[in-house]
Amino acid sequence: MSIEIRQVSKYYGQQAALKDVSFGVKRGEVVGFLGPNGAGKSTMMKIITCYIPPSEGEVKVAGLDHFNDSLKLRRKVGYLPENNPLYPEMYIREYLRFVAGIYGIPKAKQRVEEIIETVGLELESHKQIGALSKGYRQRVGLAQALIHDPEVLVLDEPTSGLDPNQLEDIRALIKRIGKEKTVLLSTHIMQEVEAICNRAIIIKRGQIVADSPVSELKSARGKIVFHLQVDKPLSLSKLEKIEGVLKVVETQKCRYKITSGKAIGPDLTAFVAREACTIEELRREEMTLEDVFKSLTQ
Ligand code: ADP
Ligand code: MG
Nearest-10 Cα torsion for 105, 109, 113, 119: 40
From atom 12 of ligand 1, which residue's Cα is the shortest distance away? 17
Residues 6+ apart with CB under 8 A from 227: 251, 255, 256, 257, 258, 281, 282, 283, 284, 285
Q: Write the pLDDT tens digit of every residue in 113-122.
A: 999 999 999 9
Residue 92 Cα to ligand 1 middle (Å): 31
Is residue 241 helix, strand or coil? helix
Average confidence (pLDDT) over 135-156: 96
Residue 207 Cα to ligand 1 middle (Å): 13
The atom number, within ligand 1, closest to the CA of 206 reads: 10
Say yes or no to pLDDT of 268 above 80: yes
Average confidence (pLDDT) over 212-230: 80
pLDDT of residue 221: 55
What domains are there in the chain, each with its CATH number? 3-217 (3.40.50.300), 221-297 (3.30.70.1560)
Residue 9 Cα to ligand 2 middle (Å): 16
* pTM tops 0.75: yes
Percent above pLDDT 90 for the chain: 81
From atom 14 of ligand 1, which residue's Cα is the shortest distance away? 38
Q: How far apart are CA 50 and CA 33, in angstroms?
A: 18
Q: Write the pLDDT tens digit of every residue in 62-107.
A: 999 999 999 999 999 999 999 999 999 999 999 999 999 999 999 9
Residues with CB under 6 A from ligand 1: 12, 15, 17, 35, 37-43
